[in-house]
Amino acid sequence: MSFLEEIQKRRTFGIISHPDAGKTTLTEKLLLFGGAIQEAGAVKNNKIKKGATSDFMEIERQRGISVATSVLAFIYKDKKINILDTPGHKDFAEDTFRTLTAVDSVIVVIDVAKGVEPQTEKLVEVCRMRKIPMIVFINKLDREGKDAFDLLDEVEQKLGLRVTPMSFPIGMGYDFKGIYNIWEKKLNIFSGDNKTTISEGVEFNDVNNPELDTIIGEPAAETLREELELVYEVYPEFDQEEYVKGDLQPVFFGSALNNFGVKELLDCFIDIAPNPQPKQAEERVVDSKEEKLTGFVFKIHANMDPKHRDRLAFVKIVSGTFKRNTPYLHVRNGKKVKFSSPNAFFAEKKEIVEESFPGDIVGLHDTGNFKIGDTLTEGEKLNFKGIPSFSPEHFRYVNNADPMKAKQLYKGLDQLMDEGVAQLFTMEMNGRRIIGTVGALQYEVIQYRLEHEYGAKCSYENINVHKACWVQPEDEKNEEFKEFKRVKQRYLAKDKEGQLVFLADSAFTIQMTQSKYPTVKLHFTSEFE
Ligand code: GDP
């Protein structure tokens, strides 16, 4: 197979949703179609119950040993499909944001009864900003839910999308009869009372055909005709180019649990979803068809097995062919590195691979040289744009609880921050360290991991910080900036990249500071123009 064919056959995507909408169930059904797994229940739900640290640890341990769950790959109709795992739990949203830098498209799962939920909104917003092509799957049609048109309205309004239904439900909940597939002009009807058996889809080019009344009954047929008429009238026709540009989002209806509408989704997905896309680096745009290798680290996974202390860095291949035992440039530290056992991922397994292509994810064993965002090339000094750090929501001082293990503690903290578990700030005045996180859960995770992986102990101490603001002075030498630094000395810290950060204790303080020092700009993310 030629290099170009390898690229064209790849589809790398993520499934995003609010917890419980059905992401795990859908993933599993997709893998079943790909023949990648044989039975339901094989895909672990990595859901974290509220506050259940032990759950998290157990999950992390399982994943540390079987990290393949981070990438699930399978072949379907000659296409190589890579699903990148995205945690739905809000405490791990940053992890998901970073993973979204490595996908070429996403599927958004929405619960028909709950509609658009907060986590869906946040994740879709990131996708929209990055112009990632999205397909929407409205799930759980076997249950009573919102009216299909109302739901489409909600998706448009709350998520700021422009939708076009590719299928339409016939009834819902108790009366759910099946789905009309607009994309393929096919009728898919449940058979049997238990709504678990599906008859093969029947071609149905013209819904005005009276046979429809025989199949689904006259009232349902009439309703469907009227609804479809409205669909054709109100919604734009599907347009491949608009979808790939992120300007139009096709919508499917179905029930992941009953495997209804999933095959239609997958069949359409492999037709329309983009293959590996060009990617913006700070220096230039890199096209996937370029022959020289480029790739970037979007995730680092610690191995929780104490006997194997190394970590796995997940690299998305952007262009060229990644080859085993071949030296590549680690752009940030300027060193050549090569890998004797790069991992590729298949369903729930990982194995050593000789070659990988654009769109693929390789897992590289790492002893601490990589951090998120690092770029690999054949020599060119390129830096792929990652996502900036956002201001954390929680802040605590971290103290060393075992004076004999200071070195271990700092090494552990350093490596955990490289993995993107949390953000570390060092106070300008006294060098004390502050950990900032998105969710409170991370503090327990960090404590646990420091102890189990690095043999270090830490304790936390509360600190009153509302937001971290990255400081951008108009002129480093002007008096205003000097005064700002003098007056706010007690609240200034450096982030891990050495950028100056103002740890503001309230929204009011931020407002006051901005009006008092108008030439000193405060930003809630680490990247600004
Ligand atoms: P995730 O948190 O998004 O990964 O959601 P899960 O896939 O774990 O699903 C959450 C719950 O919804 C589970 O109990 C599923 O069995 C259930 N579920 C998923 N899909 C459907 C569906 O199509 N219909 C119904 N009735 N339940 C579903």
Q: How confident is the model at residue 49 (pLDDT cuts 50, 70, 90)?
A: very low
Question: pLDDT value at position 66?
Answer: 35
Averaged pLDDT of the chain: 87
Residue type, 228: L
Question: pLDDT value at position 184?
Answer: 84
Task: Give the position of tokens 């790939």.
Answer: 244
Question: pLDDT value at position 63?
Answer: 45
> Tokens standing for 57?
């640890």
CB-CB neighbours of 512 under 10 Å? 12
Per-residue pLDDT, averaged over 207-232, amounts to 88
3-class DSSP state for residue 258? coil
Q: Residue length, the chain?
A: 529
Tens of pLDDT, residues 170-181 = 988 888 888 888
CA distance 20 to 46: 11
Question: pLDDT value at position 40?
Answer: 55
Nearest CA, atom 17, ligand 1: 22
CB 164 within 8 A of CB 234: no
Cα–Cα distances in Å, from 158 out to 230, 453, 490?
A: 21, 43, 41
Residue 240 Cα to ligand 1 middle (Å): 30
Tell me which of 167-181, 250-264, 496-510, 512-526 is least confident. 167-181
**Ligand 1 near 17 CB (within 6 A):** yes
Question: pLDDT value at position 432?
Answer: 95
518 belongs to an annotated ligand binding site: no
86 belongs to an annotated ligand binding site: yes
Per-residue pLDDT, averaged over 422-434, amounts to 95
Per-residue pLDDT, averaged over 39-59, amounts to 50
Question: pLDDT value at position 465?
Answer: 96
Closest CA to 500 of 427, 431, 418: 427
pLDDT at 91 over 80: no
Residue 257 Cα to ligand 1 middle (Å): 6
Tens of pLDDT, residues 285-334 = 999 999 999 999 998 887 655 566 678 899 999 999 999 999 999 999 99
Task: Give the position of tokens 């095959």.
Answer: 263
Closest CA to 124 of 96, 82, 92: 96
**Ligand 1 near 223 CB (within 6 A):** no
Q: Which residue has the higher pLDDT, 418 or 516?
A: 516
Share of the chain above pLDDT 90, in %: 57
Tens of pLDDT, residues 330-372 = 999 999 999 998 988 776 677 888 999 999 999 998 888 898 8
**Ligand 1 near 24 CB (within 6 A):** yes
CA distance 371 to 385: 14
Mutate to test the pocket of ligand 1, among 16, 18, 20 (most ligand atoms within 8 A of CB): 20
Tell me which of 69-73, 102-106, 167-171 is least confident. 69-73
Q: At what angle do helices 118-129 and 148-159 cross, to 10 degrees?
A: 60
Closest CA to 81 of 234, 273, 238: 273
Closest CA to 421 of 380, 371, 482: 371
Question: pLDDT value at position 5?
Answer: 95
Ligand 1 atom having least distance to the Cα of 109: 3
ipTM surpassing 0.90: yes
Question: pLDDT value at position 65?
Answer: 36
Model-wide pTM > 0.80:
yes
436 belongs to an annotated ligand binding site: no
**Ligand 1 near 140 CB (within 6 A):** yes
CA atoms within 13 A on the CB side of 388: 13
Cα–Cα distances in Å, from 391 out to 18, 399, 469?
A: 22, 21, 7
CA atoms within 13 A on the CB side of 229: 8
CB 94 within 8 A of CB 299: no
Question: pLDDT value at position 46?
Answer: 47
Per-residue pLDDT, averaged over 266-294, amounts to 95
CA atoms within 13 A on the CB side of 455: 8
